[in-house]
Amino acid sequence: MSSKLTEQEVRHVAKLARLNCTDEEVTLFTEQLGAILEYIDQLDELDTTNIEPLSHCLPVHNVLREDVPQPSLTNDQALANAPQRDGEFFAIPKVLNNSSA
């Protein structure tokens, strides 16, 4: 892979990301991203034939607690700080209109 990045490629990526970059920023980003790609190219020089792929560099295991039902809030507790209530429910402003367009 060639690590030579062109300003045209940087402009294309900026357009895809919906970024408005000045000419000075494009020049700066071309240099910076080119340096990053050159650094990453060094990985091609490593011999990884006997290296197993892994998702994490440390032997990490999920440390999730058991999913055990716990007491929850009552309706009155849950609605205690609600700005508006509608019986046992939160009252919220309408966000959809009734038209079937």
* CATH code for position 19: 1.10.20.60
Residue 96 has pLDDT above 70, yes or no: yes
Residue 31 has pLDDT above 80, yes or no: yes
90 phi and psi angles, rounded to 5 deg: -75, 135
Q: Give residue 95's pLDDT band: very low, low, confident or very high (50, 70, 90).
A: confident
pLDDT of 73 reads: 93
Q: Domain for residue 17, yes or no?
A: yes
Q: Domain for residue 23, yes or no?
A: yes
* pTM confidence score: 0.47
Residue 3 has pLDDT above 80, yes or no: no
What is the spatial distance between Cα 13 and Cα 81, in angstroms, rounded to a whole number? 46
Q: Domain for residue 32, yes or no?
A: yes
Q: For 15-25, how does the pLDDT look when each residue is reduced to its tens digit (9 = 90+)?
A: 999 999 999 99
Into how many domains does the chain fold? 1
Other Cβ atoms closer than 10 A to 48: 9
Q: Domain for residue 33, yes or no?
A: yes
Q: Domain for residue 77, yes or no?
A: no
What is the spatial distance between Cα 16 and Cα 27, in angstroms, rounded to a whole number? 17
- Domain of 17 in residue numbering reads as 7-45
Instruction: Give me the mean pLDDT over the 82-89 stretch.
Output: 91
